[in-house]
């Protein structure tokens, strides 16, 4: 997919506009003009645009990946300059948004319907450069824009894809090719799998995506600077190379593909079924079954164009594959050019003698003549049909054709429609055809339709790639059929609009995925029945799956949608269902020869794609009128040249936009409530009604995510804080320090929103998504949620006017080894939080506390210690929420050290808190469902 963007408003974008794109940017007519030597010298010395940031963030939920790319560029030249943004994305992915920020203007993309007249034409162009279903293919996204001198541009690209399981692993590939060394380069991948992560591996950077389809070499290491943190169900992978590390990999900035492979724990029976609100997804991947016998015919192009390395590598690969055949398999070989050359006129069993004879036949193949694709396919199908018809086969078997060519039909029947019809009529749905196209001259659209119409898959191998290794890799995926004639049924009264439920074969290491909508949300069980054939027996699996009353509150996709669709589109299972349904509609449209049927399929695919914000052959992206970011004056003049540290997941619609100030931002030195978690971190709770302040410490571990406020089921508010580690100061009693590096606030009432705050940026998702740099003062608001940023000082969040949090930003110009930029969390107003609120801070809100054995009150002079009671010696005990905790008087600094307060310090925080420390750990930053407060209440 080749896209070119201009700043003309309303300019449509769609995959495959190759000719149009060339015409917009073509300057080839000037190439032949003579350019003076002095001008050429100036052109060479011209300052290239500087890429200051390239970051990619992916969130994978149940195999479904949401990816956003952020690229920030600066025009350093003294004149206007054209800047180009290039990004390779998987061919299986759907682009969901593209946004440009030019100076203070925001150009947001909008997915709209494409006119019918261009539909067929666009699809044909798309297939010239990509493969359907993302079979090891990539597409190129391109955007260019003219940037004024000394100005900057930000490109934000979002796309989604369903990861396919191959050879027992899911593979997530991110292209890291910024074309230059980048000061801030980062890839972050978050993986959440409910069934548990069984294995995870980060491969070395791969220069070719085709090579990524192979197996990693033993002992291969991840790219430098890669960090992997994972638990049973959640994994986070960071790749953040320095400029020096980038230069060691590739000085031109083309690092390669960042590849993560993983697999999940799975049941051996009926599979994993997940339900969320109205949608379900069923992952079916059985194992430990005896393999089905294969009847396979290898059909190889031996025309003149295969001369040299291509044919030699293909022969070597076939030698390897022949030795991999099982004793119960049967096979034959056909070579074709302008003549059809059959090794044996019948299928033979796998014996040492037959393998030896087959290798001799392959060795003597020589390239000559044209390409009779139709004749070769017809001959292969007759071989398979004759074998099945004339042999009493006790075992159920599968019949396969593996077809490899590098060209177009030139001999015999050359009309693609007739070739397709002849093949489909002869195969009659009983033979699956797997096709491999080599090079750029192959008729890939023909191969694609041959596989689609005959239950197979297709691959493209580029000229520069190793055709032999690709052929072996492709065969490995289909070498072990375990089931055939698979049918998966659900009660029609309970399930509607399910995706495909009939599958001809299941190969070991792959996965069958079905998604659908539930009719009755109140049902507690879903009946599932799977029938299939396995070798000599008929397999029937039945089960009733519990339907848990899960809510969208567990969503962590970070993808926002226009109003009216938030609840549905924040559901990752709905996104997955939409993705599969659109893919199947496009596949059916491609196969259909009936114009009326094609039009119905086109309309269905287009409507669902527009509703789901998918860029397809039937939809396009148009740039909406620019929005202007209205910045507030920076009171301290501290705004830096750098902007947001990470990425915008997606930015769609125009409802949430920086607008006129709702009120002045908080003064950076403002004093708010004492109730807070700041510093190492130190916790302070202010019991205002009792005129009592209590403090305690929590010694967590780097990477821990602490639940600070948990009121999800009542007010709908949750606050989580993620810790970062640092060495302890010398001569200190601690081994390490921890600070809050990220504060996440989730709100699900009246509508779902969330914020993610770091010392560098604020990500706000309130129906639309926006990234605000922390070095610029600004106020934004939407749907009862208001965010006020005071540059490099604090962020104030107000929810429905009744809940307010202030997050202090702590930055160091020259940090010591034990210092880190971090955040402090303060509760300014808790009126809107319920009495059931919990969390490390939330459990103490609206509670009473008192002291027993209390010494005299501390003097008003904060530097003077309290005076003990006459008779001295009695221990001071704090009573709160049924807990009795020994405390001592202490002074503590808050508000970045600007104020010193008196507080009663609980040396043992575990006695003060409900439950244990582990009860306050969230599974991931967006977790709002974890249960806290497991301790037994004890009365005062």
> What would the pLDDT profile of 512-528 be if each residue is shown by its tens digit?
999 999 887 667 788 88
The answer on pLDDT for 233 being more than 60 is yes
CB atoms within 10 A of CB 124: 12
Greater confidence (11 vs 900) lies with 900
pLDDT attached to residue 579: 94
Greater confidence (562 vs 488) lies with 488
Average pLDDT for residues 787-800, to the nearest whole number? 88
Greater confidence (5 vs 380) lies with 380
Name 46's Cβ contacts closer than 8 Å, sequence gap at least 6. 77
CA dist., res. 443 & res. 408, Å (int): 5
Name 427's Cβ contacts closer than 8 Å, sequence gap at least 6. 381, 433, 454
Average pLDDT for residues 6-24, to the nearest whole number? 36
The answer on pLDDT for 14 being more than 50 is no
Closest CA to 161 of 108, 215, 231, 88: 88
8 Å CB contact between 677 and 839: no
Closest CA to 926 of 662, 495, 559, 514: 559
pLDDT attached to residue 108: 86
The answer on pLDDT for 653 being more than 60 is no
The answer on pLDDT for 736 being more than 80 is yes
Least confident range from 267-276, 360-369, 476-485: namely: 267-276
The encoded tokens of residue 235 equal 């994994």
Percent of the chain with pLDDT over 90: 29
Tens-digit pLDDT profile for residues 477-488: 888 898 888 899
Most confident of 99-113, 330-344, 752-766, 891-905: 330-344
Average pLDDT for residues 241-257, to the nearest whole number? 85
In whole angstroms, how far apart are CA 71 and each of 407, 641, 797?
Answer: 39, 15, 28
pLDDT attached to residue 641: 24
Tens-digit pLDDT profile for residues 138-191: 788 888 888 888 888 999 999 999 999 998 999 999 999 998 888 899 999 999
Runs of H (alpha helix) within 877-934? 909-912
CA dist., res. 61 & res. 579, Å (int): 14
The answer on pLDDT for 910 being more than 80 is yes
Q: How do beta strands 256-264 and 495-496 pair?
A: unpaired
Name 298's Cβ contacts closer than 8 Å, sequence gap at least 6. 318, 321, 331, 332, 333, 334, 402, 404
CA dist., res. 398 & res. 329, Å (int): 10
The answer on pLDDT for 125 being more than 60 is no
Angle (CA) 353-434-509 rounded to 5° is: 85
Average pLDDT for residues 348-353, to the nearest whole number? 93
Give the model's confidence band at 896: pLDDT under 50 very low, under 70 low, under 90 confident, else very high.
low
CA dist., res. 239 & res. 224, Å (int): 8
CA dist., res. 665 & res. 23, Å (int): 48
Q: What is the mean pLDDT of the chain?
A: 78
Least confident range from 178-192, 484-498, 847-861: namely: 847-861
Report the C-alpha dihedral over residues 362, 367, 371, 376, rounded to 10 degrees: -10
Most confident of 68-72, 267-271, 309-313, 404-408: 68-72
3-state secondary structure (DSSP) of residue 675 = coil
For tokens 């824009």, name the residue.
145
CA dist., res. 368 & res. 365, Å (int): 9
pLDDT attached to residue 118: 43
Most confident of 210-214, 365-369, 541-545: 365-369
Most confident of 79-83, 413-417, 896-900: 413-417
Closest CA to 53 of 778, 760, 743, 764: 760
CA dist., res. 567 & res. 575, Å (int): 11
Average pLDDT for residues 736-747, to the nearest whole number? 91
Greater confidence (906 vs 568) lies with 906
pLDDT attached to residue 817: 81
CA dist., res. 720 & res. 707, Å (int): 5
DSSP symbols for 61-73: ETTEEEEEEEEEE
The encoded tokens of residue 452 equal 């689609």
Greater confidence (270 vs 531) lies with 531
Angle (CA) 515-516-522 rounded to 5° is: 125
8 Å CB contact between 697 and 706: no
Closest CA to 479 of 293, 657, 305: 293
Please provide the distance, in angstroms rounded to a whole number, between the alpha carbons at the two ends of the chain: 69
pLDDT attached to residue 667: 43
Q: What is the DSSP letter of 168?
A: T
19-25, long-range: CB within 8 Å, 24+ apart, which pairs?
19/125, 21/142, 25/144
Tens-digit pLDDT profile for residues 497-510: 899 999 988 888 89
The sheet carrying 165-166 orders its strands as 165-166, 169-176, 256-264, 197-202
Least confident range from 398-407, 456-465, 782-791, 877-886: namely: 456-465
**What radius of gyration do the chain's Cα atoms show?**
32
Angle (CA) 342-328-451 rounded to 5° is: 55
In whole angstroms, how far apart are CA 360 and each of 304, 320, 343?
Answer: 20, 13, 10
Give the model's confidence band at 853: pLDDT under 50 very low, under 70 low, under 90 confident, else very high.
confident
Greater confidence (28 vs 293) lies with 293
Average pLDDT for residues 355-375, to the nearest whole number? 91
pLDDT attached to residue 335: 93
Give the model's confidence band at 854: pLDDT under 50 very low, under 70 low, under 90 confident, else very high.
low
pLDDT attached to residue 27: 35
pLDDT attached to residue 548: 62
CA dist., res. 650 & res. 561, Å (int): 9
Closest CA to 306 of 297, 315, 298: 315
The encoded tokens of residue 4 equal 């070119």
pLDDT attached to residue 5: 43
8 Å CB contact between 271 and 286: yes
CA dist., res. 601 & res. 617, Å (int): 12
Run of H or E including 880: strand 877-880
Give the model's confidence band at 858: pLDDT under 50 very low, under 70 low, under 90 confident, else very high.
very low
pLDDT attached to residue 515: 93
Q: How do beta strands 330-336 and 294-301 pair?
A: parallel
């Amino acid at each position: 997919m080749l896209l070119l963007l201009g700043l003309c408003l309303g300019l449509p974008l769609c995959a495959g506009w190759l000719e149009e794109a060339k015409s917009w940017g073509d300057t080839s007519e000037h190439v032949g003009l003579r350019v003076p030597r002095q001008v050429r010298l100036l052109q060479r010395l011209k300052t290239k645009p500087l890429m200051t940031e390239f970051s990619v963030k992916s969130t994978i939920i149940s195999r479904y990946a949401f990816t956003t790319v952020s690229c920030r560029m600066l025009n350093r030249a003294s004149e206007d300059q054209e800047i180009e943004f290039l990004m390779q994305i998987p061919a299986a992915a759907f682009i969901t948004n593209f946004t440009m920020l030019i100076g203070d203007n925001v150009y947001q993309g909008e997915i709209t319907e494409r006119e019918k007249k261009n539909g067929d034409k666009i699809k044909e162009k798309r297939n010239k450069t990509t493969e359907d279903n993302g079979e090891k293919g990539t597409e190129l996204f391109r955007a260019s824009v003219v940037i004024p001198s000394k100005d900057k541009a930000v490109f934000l690209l979002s796309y989604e894809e369903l990861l396919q399981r191959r050879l027992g692993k899911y593979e997530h590939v991110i292209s890291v090719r910024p074309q230059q060394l980048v000061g801030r380069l980062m890839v972050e991948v978050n993986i959440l799998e409910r069934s548990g992560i069984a294995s995870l591996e980060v491969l070395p950077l791969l220069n070719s995506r085709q090579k990524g389809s192979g197996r990693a070499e033993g002992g291969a290491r991840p790219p430098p600077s890669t960090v992997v943190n994972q638990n049973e169900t959640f994994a986070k992978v960071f790749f953040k190379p320095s400029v020096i590390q980038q230069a060691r990999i590739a000085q031109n900035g083309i690092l390669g593909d960042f590849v993560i492979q993983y697999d999940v724990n799975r049941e051996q029976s009926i599979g994993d079924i997940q339900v969320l609100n109205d949608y379900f997804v069923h992952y079916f991947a059985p194992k430990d079954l005896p393999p089905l016998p294969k009847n396979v015919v290898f059909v190889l192009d031996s025309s003149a164009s295969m001369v040299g390395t291509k044919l030699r590598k293909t022969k070597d690969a076939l030698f390897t594959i022949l030795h991999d055949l099982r004793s119960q398999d049967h096979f034959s070989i056909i070579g074709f050019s302008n003549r059809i050359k059959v090794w044996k006129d019948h299928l033979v069993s796998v014996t040492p003698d037959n393998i030896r004879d087959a290798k001799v036949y392959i060795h003597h193949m020589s390239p000559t003549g044209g390409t009779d694709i139709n004749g070769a396919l017809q001959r292969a199908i007759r071989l398979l049909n004759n074998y099945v018809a004339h042999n009493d086969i006790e075992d159920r078997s599968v019949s396969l054709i593996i077809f490899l060519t590098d060209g177009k039909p030139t001999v015999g029947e050359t009309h693609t429609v007739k070739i397709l019809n002849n093949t489909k009529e002869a195969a009659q749905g009983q033979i699956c055809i797997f096709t491999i196209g080599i090079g750029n001259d192959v008729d890939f659209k023909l191969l694609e339709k041959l596989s689609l119409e005959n239950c197979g898959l297709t691959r493209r191998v580029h000229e520069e790639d190793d055709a032999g290794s690709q052929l072996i890799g492709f065969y490995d995926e289909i070498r072990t059929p375990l089931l055939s004639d698979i049918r998966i049924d659900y009660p029609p009264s309970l399930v509607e609009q399910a995706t495909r439920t009939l599958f001809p074969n299941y190969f070991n290491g792959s996965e069958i995925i079905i998604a659908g909508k539930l009719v009755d949300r109140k049902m507690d069980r879903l009946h599932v029945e799977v029938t299939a054939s396995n070798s000599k027996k008929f397999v029937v699996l039945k089960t009733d799956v519990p339907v848990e009353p899960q809510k969208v509150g567990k969503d962590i996709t970070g993808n926002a949608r226009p109003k009216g669709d938030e609840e549905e589109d924040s559901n990752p299972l709905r996104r997955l269902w939409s993705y599969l349904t659109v893919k199947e509609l496009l596949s059916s449209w491609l196969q259909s020869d009936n114009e009326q049927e094609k039009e119905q399929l086109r309309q269905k695919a287009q409507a669902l794609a527009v509703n789901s914000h998918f860029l397809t052959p039937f939809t396009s992206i148009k740039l909406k009128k620019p929005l202007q970011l209205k910045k507030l004056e920076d009171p301290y003049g501290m705004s830096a040249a750098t902007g947001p540290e990470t990425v915008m997941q997606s930015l769609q619609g125009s409802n949430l936009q920086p607008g006129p100030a709702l009120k002045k931002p908080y003064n950076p030195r403002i004093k708010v409530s004492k109730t807070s978690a700041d510093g190492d971190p130190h916790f302070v709770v202010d019991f205002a009604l009792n005129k009592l302040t209590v403090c305690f410490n929590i010694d967590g571990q780097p990477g821990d995510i602490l639940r600070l406020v948990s009121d999800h089921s009542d007010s709908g508010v949750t606050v989580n804080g993620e810790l970062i580690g640092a060495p302890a100061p010398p001569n200190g009693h601690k081994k390490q320090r921890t600070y809050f590096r990220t504060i996440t606030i989730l709100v699900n009432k009246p509508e779902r929103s969330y914020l993610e705050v770091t010392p560098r940026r604020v990500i706000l998702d309130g129906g639309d998504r926006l990234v605000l740099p922390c070095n610029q003062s600004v106020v934004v608001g939407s749907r009862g949620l208001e965010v006020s940023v005071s540059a490099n000082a604090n962020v104030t969040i107000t929810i429905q006017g009744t809940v307010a949090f202030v997050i202090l930003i702590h930055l160091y110009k020259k940090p010591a080894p034990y210092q880190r930029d971090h955040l402090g969390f303060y509760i300014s107003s808790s009126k809107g939080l319920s009495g059931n609120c919990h969390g490390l801070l939330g459990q103490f809100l609206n509670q009473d506390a008192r002291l027993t054995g209390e010494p005299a009150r501390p003097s008003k002079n904060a530097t003077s210690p309290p005076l003990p009671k006459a008779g001295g010696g009695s221990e001071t005990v704090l009573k709160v929420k049924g807990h009795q905790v020994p405390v001592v008087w202490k002074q503590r600094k808050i508000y970045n050290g600007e104020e010193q307060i008196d507080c009663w310090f609980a040396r043992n925080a575990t006695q003060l808190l409900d439950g244990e420390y582990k009860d306050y750990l969230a599974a991931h930053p967006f977790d709002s469902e974890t249960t806290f407060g497991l301790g037994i209440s004890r009365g005062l």
